[in-house]
Every structure is written in C-alpha cells, then in structure tokens.
Structure 1
Amino acid sequence: MATPSRLQHDRPFTRAQLKASGGDVRVLRRREYVQVFREAWIRSDAIDADTRIRAALLIHPEGAFASHFSAARLLDLPVPDHRFEHVTVRRLKDRRERPELKSHVTRRRRGLTTVRGIPTTDAITTFIELAGWLPLVDLVVLGDALVERFDIRPERLLRACRASGDYYAKAAARAAEYVRKGVDSPMETRLRMLIVLAGLPEPVVKVQIREDGVLKRRFDLCYPGIKLVIEYDGRQHAEDTVQWERDLVRREELDDDDYRILVVTAKGIFREPEQTLARIRRQLIKRGMPDVPQIDEAWRDHFA
C-alpha cells in the first residue's frame, strides 16, 4: 500500500494530494495518521506547534493567511489559550467552516509577514485585530511584548492604531496608550496595570542606576524620586539557593542606599489585588510622594 511522500509526512496534506502523489487513501486508517481538520491529515510523529495553522491554511484557497490568535502564536507573542485557529481570506466564498477553525473575511489592506514559511499578519496588525477579542489588560500584555520583541517604539504602535480604520481600532488605541518599552514579562505588565487602573501614580519601567558610567542597579518598576521599588517575584528560584543568596545581598545593598523594595507575588495580583494596592499606596505616602490619590475602584473591572 503506497504511502505519502516524505514532504507530506512532515506537513499536513489532503486526500487529493495523497492520491496525486500515488498514495492509497486507505493508509489514513492507520494509527500513525491523524486528521487535523476535515480534509487535512498528518503523520502523528510530525505534529508540532505549527501543525494546526498549516492544516487550516491548507484547506483554504491560495492567498489565505494566519491572523488573530494564530498570528500571535506564530509571532511568539503572549495571548491566552484559545481553541480556534484563525485564518483570514479576501472573499466570502473562500471561507472554510470547520470545528475549532474561524475564517475571517476582509478586503482591507493587512500588514503581512512570513514565519517558518507561513503567511501571517504582522505584529501591529495582529495587535489591532485582537483588540476585538482581548480585554484591556491582556491587550496591553500583548503590546508590551510586541514592542520589545520587534523593537517597535510604543509611539509607532499608537499612531498605527489611531490611523487604522478597523472596527476595533479605538479599543486598540486605548490599550496602546498604556504600552511601555522595556517590560520583561506579562506579570510585570499586569502589576503595572493594576497600579495604573487604580488611579495611583504610574511607576517608571526599567529604571537604571549608573555610577561612573557603569550600570549598578536595574529596577523593573520604580518611583525614583522616593526610592520605592515595586518588584514582581514569580518564585521561580524559590528553591535556587544561589539566587536566593544573591537576592539577599542585593536587598541589603538597597537598604544601605535607602531604597524600599515592595515585593508582589502572583497571589497579590490575582487573589489579593486590593491588599496589594493598599500596600503600594501606604508606601507612596510614607516615603513622601505628594498628593497620593485615593484608590480608584475602576481597577475591579479588569481584575476579577
């Protein structure tokens, strides 16, 4: 019984392609073949992170491209898990409806790029498209990662959003106003957004302290004028003795220079945000920041 060619082993293929290569469709009954979508198959040992979007594009006409959540994943940008693959086509008749597959249609111009041979919307286009799918904080998480990964200035992202005629461009522009350069992680973004949406002064991102031109310290979130550092601790080195000892030495040095480090964990963002905000506000006042506002309850709309 003839089997698909080596190329088709590595990538999704259709029944028609299998027949055209001289293969026998009965091989698809074998355990080593997996149906990705209706009409799209692949060998189980060839499945990788790109398999589903390759299969989704395979069953669409030429000119289709990955978009939305699928594009974000291809671009290695942080988005919540999403069960659907997203493909955009130019004509209504080119849509292909399948379970766990979302076909979009647009005649608007789209910024496109290619990742591992897969056509996809570029980073800014993906950000604008996802404004219709993501809540504000998740969209800012995406934007912070986008400007860092692709070396795009936040001002450029904001201009693109404001110039866009897309339906969700206004929501994209709102999120882009909060995007900052130099953010290292999604949790750092979430912590900063918790502070800002509560109406407290925004901490400065990526503060660097230099002495004689040499970098001495670097803070992810900081209020330099009052020497208050807000630090997210993911506990990834809770069992790392060497890192723990380094952290102790670092904090002792900061104490000597009159810095105050306020450490926030995931629990303080997801389970106890109100207590976290109270801690930060108390330290702002204690360290002499003028006119610290009361906490704005608007943060509750974004941090359930």
Structure 2
Amino acid sequence: MVHRRALPEPLQHTPFTRAEARRHGVSRKRLEARDIVRLGHGLLASSSVDTGWPAGFDEPGHGMGRLSLAALARQFPDAVYSHGTAALVFRLPLPDIVASDTTIHLTWCSGTGAAQRKGITAHRSPVPEEDRVQFRRLPLTSPARTWVDMASHLDLTDLIILGDAIVNRPWDQDRRVDGLATLAGLSDALLRAGSVKGVRNARAALARCRVGADSPPETLTRLALVDAGLPEPAVQLKGDPSDRFAPAADLGYREQKIAIQYDGKHHRTASQQASDANRDAWFQERGWLVIRLTSLDLGQGFSRLIHVVRRRFEAHGNSATA
C-alpha cells in the first residue's frame, strides 16, 4: 500500500495552483502522485474534492465548477468573471451555442495586463464598483452588467429573454421575491457602460423587457403576440386584483377576459396539475377564455394562440391590432 503525505489543510478541500502548493511546502513529486487531479488552467486538486456544480446546475461548456473558478480567480485578482461565464453562474438562460462556450470569460477592470491563456477569453473594460458583485464566492460582473456585455453576443430576442430572467420576480416558497435586478438597474448599467459594442441592441431589448415572465417560453409567447400585431398582454395578470386569493394568468387581457398559461415541465406533476385545474376553473367560472400552451405551440410559432386571441378580440368588438 502506498502511503502518501496528506496535503496541507488549506489545499485538501479546494483546487489550487502549483504556486500555492509551493507556498505550503508541497514538493513537485507529491503533486505528480495519482491522487492529484489536473483540472486545466494551471489548477490541481485532490481526487477527493468534488469540483462540480451543486444539483440543478447545467454543466458549463468550459467544464469548470465553482471551486475551480474560485481558485482560478485567485490567480487574477484584478479580473472578474463576465459575459457568458457570469450568466451561467447566475443560472440565466442562454442559447445553447453560448452556454456550450468552452472558454472562460474574464474582464480586467483596470489597466493591468489581461491574461492571454488557452481556454480564457480576456476582455479589458472599465467595470465600476456598482457593476461588480461577489456571488457564490466568485468575483463577477453584476447581472445587469452581464446583460449589457451580452448585448453584442445575442440577438434581440435572446437578449430580451435574458433581461426578463434578470428582472423577473421568481417564486420562493409560494411567494414572489425580488429578481437579480430591476428594469431601472438594467438601464443604469447600460448608461455606466457608455458606448459599448451592442448598445443599440441593448436599448431595443430594454424597451421590451418586462417583469414577471417565469420562463423563456413565456417571454416568447408575449413577443409572438406583439410581433403578430396584437396588443401586448399583461404579465402575471391577476384574475381579481381586489382578491388576494385570486389566481394569476402567466399572460392575459383583462378587458377581453383572456387568460394564457404556458405549461412547462413542472406542470407534469400530479400536484401541479391539480393546482392548474383549480386555477383554470376559477377563470372559466367567471367567463374567461383560458388558453393553455405547451412546447408544441412554441414549436409552431404560437400560430394557434395568435388565431384564437385575434378571434376573441373581434368577438368583443375590439381592434385586433396594437
């Protein structure tokens, strides 16, 4: 049996660099032992260290977990994670081609030299203190600044989806809590960034971002209705604003009594289906038209929804154009 000298306590539970190992008196030979894993980017770790992401996180294209990113950040104290790398840490929705990016994005905020290293996409740009955060113990551009940075990498629709996800008020234990930023926060970050690449795209997206979209398909539903020439639906439309127990529709039109619900994957459970049935019954008993959408509607460009909503507007004697 091979008896190896234990690594120093500070190195046992996190990735580290060779320089850090030397500072703790670890020999080169010890670092070549089989229980030491090479993670890339000059990082090593004990094979007993879990370097992945917690449950629920999609594996990023660059393959580096939070502990590895934290160790890498120690090498570059003047930089922050940015662009798609920051967005994935915040668990924000990105197109597959961006989410699968195999490089790590770092932005150097000062005049210091940016690291030109394989696997790292280096950016140099002023990042005011208001646009930097520590999240999951990582130095990151704020969600709002990340949105600004992604304006030159995403098309208009994907940037609206990203903005909606940032300003959304998500559910937490049956109540809504504040999102990662506000619409005003996105605007302020854009102003602080100045004439960055993609600024026109960002301005156009900001005008169409809304609070309350619980998923990218809900954002796409809203955009499809507007792009079809219909009035913009309200988001998280409460059936009766005066009744705190009244359900809300994902999207809807109060005057025409149209409640639109998008059924994502979480709607497949028995408890959620029962809740959905009670919600739909509440609207239907009061004369509302309930339209439930699925991924099939998404794949068909919401053509059925657009047709039904337009007919409902006409039946109510309303113009079916915005």
Question: Shorter chain as normaliser: what TM range?
Answer: 0.7 to 0.9
1:131 is paired with a residue whose SS is helix
Q: Which runs of 5+ in 1 are unaligned?
A: 295-304
| Cα offset, 1:274, TM superposition | 5.2
Give the TM-score, by structure 2 length. 0.79
Deviation for aligned residue 1:31: 4.2
Alignment of 1:221-232 (within 5 A): 221-232=251-262
Residue matched to 2:143:
123
1:3, distance to aligned residue in structure 2 (A) = 4.5
Taking a change above 3 Å as real, the CA distance of residues 27 and 180 of structure 1, as seen in their structure-2 partners, is same
- Which blocks of at least 5 consecutive residues in structure 2 are unaligned? 54-65, 169-177
Alpha-carbon distance, 1:47 to partner: 0.4
Aligned-residue offset at 1:132: 1.2
Task: Decide whether aligned partners of structure 1 residues 167 and 250 sit closer, same or farther in structure 2, where only a CA change above 3 A counts.
Answer: closer
Q: How does 1:158-177 map to 2 (within 5 A)?
A: 158-162=187-191, 164-165=193-194, 166-177=196-207
1:221 to partner: Cα distance: 0.3
2:123 counterpart (104, 108, 111):
104
1:195 aligns with 2:225: yes
Q: 1:166-204, CA deviations, whole angstroms, 9 ceiling, x for partnerless residues?
A: 222221121111111122223212222222233322110
Determine if the alignment matches structure 1 residue 18 to structure 2 residue 38.
no
How many pairs are equivalent? Answer: 290
> C-alpha offsets along residues 237-295 of structure 1, whole Å, 9 cap, x if unaligned?
43x334334433432332221101111112211x211534543444443442622249x
Please give the alpha-carbon distance, in whole angstroms, between the structure 1 residues aligned to 2:183 and 2:242. 30
Query: Structure 2: which amino acid aligns with 1:157?
Result: L
Secondary structure of the corresponding residue to residue 201 of structure 2: helix
Contact map agreement 1:12 1:58 (CA 8 A) in 2: no
Q: Distance in 2 between matches of 1:226 and 1:162?
A: 38
From 114, 134, 143, the equivalent of 2:134 is: 114
1:87 aligns with 2:115: no
Q: Which amino acid aligns with 1:219?
A: A
Question: Take 1:107 and 1:243, find their aligned partners in 2: how far apart are those partners?
Answer: 46
* Residues 135, 251 of structure 1: alpha-carbon distance in 2 compared, 3 angstrom cutoff: same
CA distance in 1, matches of 2:80, 2:228: 39
**Contact persistence 1:40–1:58 (CA under 8 A):** no
Q: Is the 8 A contact 2:225 2:306 kept in 1?
A: no
Q: Are the structure 2 counterparts of residues 209 and 91 from structure 1 closer, same or farther at C-alpha, using a change threshold of 3 Å?
A: same
Deviating 4+ runs (over 6 angstroms): none
What is residue 74 of structure 1 aligned with on the other side? 89
Say whether residues 1:285 and 2:305 are aligned partners: no
For 1:283 and 1:220, how far apart are their aligned partners in 2?
20
Match of 1:233 among 257, 263, 284: 263
CA pair 212-158 structure 1, distance change in 2 beyond 3 A: closer
Structure 1 residues 11 and 275: alpha-carbon distance in aligned structure 2, compared to 1, 3 A threshold: same
- Residues 158 and 233 from structure 1, CA distance in 2 versus in 1: closer, same or farther, beyond 3 angstroms? same
Return the alpha-carbon distance in structure 2 between the equivalents of residues 162 and 65 of structure 1.
20
CA distance in 1, matches of 2:226, 2:29: 60
- Number of the residue aligned with 1:297: none
**% identical equivalent positions:** 25
Deviation of residue 162 (structure 1)?
A: 4.8
**Would the aligned equivalents of 2:144 and 2:181 in 1 still touch at CA under 8 Å?**
no
Q: Is the 8 A contact 2:165 2:215 kept in 1?
A: yes
- For residue 67 of structure 1, report the CA deviation from its aligned partner: 0.9
- In 2, the alpha carbon distance for the partners of 1:172 and 1:96 equals 28
Q: Give how far 1:88 is off.
A: 1.0
Contact 1:227 1:258 in 2 (8 A): yes
